[in-house]
Structure 1
């Protein structure tokens, strides 16, 4: 049952990030609702409403056709314009910030829902149009269906106004950074809470001589059903070590699984079915992507073609908060079931993560004194944060030393060098 649930969850996470997901649902809903209304009209729904509130219903078939046709043409124009705006947003975000931002923008539910409202209303109006007879009298017209078509069109106009407002906000860098920050914090806090619930000591056996098994798929190692694998381990009296961290891009026949006991093909197949691969990355599945995205935003902002140090400074502020939260997480990840540790998962260690981020930023920003000062302040803040591992602070101090050395070799003015030395002297 766990495998079925995991596969369903993996499939859902894949399709919900697709821009056509919600529009497709609304389209199906509009189609079904249109035929439901046709059925209810055949049972005399409009006649009942006409007797009670005649002012709300159209009394002439030609008038009804004209109204629905006008609504339909306007909605198609709105939908085309809205899709064009979405494509423009994606293009600008890719060129100005980072192509890695596209999956997150595409999966924005607000854009998908608004486009879905358009599409569902258009399909409803089309099939309602078929049920109207030109020249029909008021007692033979689907008056309720026409009234609903008008109401749905008004809702689309309201949604279009909100869409324009939301689009103007979505393209702003502060909104993009906020979204990345919130998604990464949610994911990190979820992982930290799980670690707190499982008080696991680092007594996992040495895996160097364990049986090694290889990946059967290409793609990003996106997610894993730890409960399902732990159940397999418990049933077969073994322990598993996943040798690659989440978010890694794996090729076929690369070492992925180590087992304390030898596994047959059937058990291996069950384990592989509990691991999902994809061609894209989402922060909700892998918080490391947030560090990559913010780093690329900083590098893009500091490139000669963009030259926007303000954006780089904002991104460093967000990086500082996420790094501080990451220091509350262990470097090693385990999974416990029935008070027994069955699974160990390789993770990107804090020192490695900090180095990867700082190495990229140093290369492109060491010439800018303001950015270097901001990075020093970030590292000083991290150094005074409570950490689960003393090695975290050692890694921070090492990055400070490397950054200062690189910056001093780059600066040409004595004042910049003096300010930097004084700032580091307070470390």
Structure 2
């Protein structure tokens, strides 16, 4: 039951990231409120207010119609402009930065809420206009409802001004990188806080029984609580085979487990079905579920900035600053992750991307596309210098892989620069790095 509820919750989260989710909800609320006001008008709310507070009522039929017609035409124009701006933002982000940033931009709740306010006000005005119906020889004017439409239109204009401000900020690359960085930082800090610093000698899983994927897609998330419940109930040990965020093809192993299933084969198959149901597959990748995506997205923005068509090393340097802070935070996390029961026994092994692989994948791309730019190379050396001086690197085995990448960067930089001054700068940074590393590591120049 819990696994089904978890899948429903995940489906709602996916729906929430859709650009039409909040506009649809707010539009429905606006439509419902219009019907409520039409009902109240039929009960004489405007007539009562005319007698007791006439300032709150628009009591002229032509004025009411003119106002509502103008509001409807203006709101349609504002909506078209706003949707066009959103599409321009998405197109520019995809072409100038990285297509991977689009899911984060589409799921922006502020823009969705603003578009919802427009549509809700538009629907409200349309139905209030329709409710101005003949009543004998005159027309029944929903005066109080028209006054509310003026208030809602004023709110929509305020939302439009805020939308212009917000879209002008969102389209800036620094704002995009900062948003990516903050989402990844929150996820990393959560993982670090949830880690129990207990040395675990987990069993070898090569001979464990494997469970294959029943569908194709990115492994978005795993319901660890559901897996732990099954592990304790059936006395199992479970290993998650792929790394979260990996693209899984149907038929490839996603879980391995070890334990005795005392009943018949049907119970064994039912258990495997319940185990694999704890894994959520999706065609979208979100940083909130997988911090590795932040490294990919920021690296791709940096590489795009260094392309000949854009040629923006300043953006690349800013991206390296964000990567430096993320790597420093990643140094605090262990390469091996486990999920423990209440007795601090590790029953689930969670496959993670090692720090060495993460650093290599980022630096392999950066070295390939940025090694010709001495300014960017200097910034990368500064990043390594900072990482080697952090307290976290002293308590882990990550120093050696950092130094390996320093040597690779040094070799590529020296091979791609012939200017004496550039070579002198590279050697000076290597000399600085030698002062913060133990003597057993060689930085021969």
Report TM bin, short chain: over 0.9
Counterpart in the other structure of 1:214: 212
> Secondary structure in 1 aligned to 2:391?
coil
2:367 to 328, 350, 362: 362
Query: What is the aligned residue count?
Result: 425
Tell me the distance in 2 between the aligned counterparts of 1:94 and 1:319. 20
Give ranges in structure 1 of 5+ residues lacking alignment: none
Instruction: Indicate if the aligned counterparts of 1:219 and 1:250 stay in contact, CA closer than 8 A.
Output: yes
Counterpart in the other structure of 2:406: 400
> Secondary structure in 1 aligned to 2:281?
strand
Question: What TM-score do you get using the length of structure 1 for normalisation?
Answer: 0.96
Query: How far off its partner does 1:137 sit?
Result: 9.1
Tell me the distance in 2 between the aligned counterparts of 1:21 and 1:330. 38
The within-5 A match list for 1:122-137 is: 122-133=122-133
Counterpart in the other structure of 2:202: 204
| Farther off after superposition, 231-240 or 36-45 | 36-45
Question: What TM-score do you get using the length of structure 2 for normalisation?
Answer: 0.93
Tell me the distance in 2 between the aligned counterparts of 1:92 and 1:144. 44
1:345 to 350, 364, 372: 350
Instruction: Indicate if the aligned counterparts of 1:222 and 1:247 stay in contact, CA closer than 8 A.
Output: yes
Tell me the distance in 1 between the aligned counterparts of 2:125 and 2:280. 41
Tell me the distance in 2 between the aligned counterparts of 1:201 and 1:33. 59
1:390 to 390, 396, 409: 396
Instruction: Indicate if the aligned counterparts of 1:180 and 1:283 stay in contact, CA closer than 8 A.
Output: yes
Tell me the distance in 1 between the aligned counterparts of 2:283 and 2:218. 6
Q: Deviations over 1:68-124 (max 9, x none)?
A: 111011001100100000000111111111111111111111110100100111111
Instruction: Indicate if the aligned counterparts of 2:134 and 2:140 stay in contact, CA closer than 8 A.
Output: no
Q: Deviations over 1:244-293 (max 9, x none)?
A: 11010110111211101266211111112211111110111110000000
The within-5 A match list for 1:47-126 is: 47-126=47-126
Tell me the distance in 2 between the aligned counterparts of 1:151 and 1:280. 39
Q: Deviations over 1:361-407 (max 9, x none)?
A: 10000011110010011011111112375321111100000000011
| Farther off after superposition, 405-414 or 203-212 | 203-212
Counterpart in the other structure of 1:242: 240
**2:279 pairs with 1:286:** no
Q: Deviations over 1:320-375 (max 9, x none)?
A: 00110011111111111222222111100000000000000100000111100100
Tell me the distance in 1 between the aligned counterparts of 2:136 and 2:9. 50
Return structure 1 stretches of 4+ with deviation > 6 angstroms: 135-139
**2:151 pairs with 1:151:** yes
1:275 to 267, 273, 279: 279
Tell me the distance in 1 between the aligned counterparts of 2:162 and 2:135. 38
Give ranges in structure 2 of 5+ residues lacking alignment: 262-267, 434-445
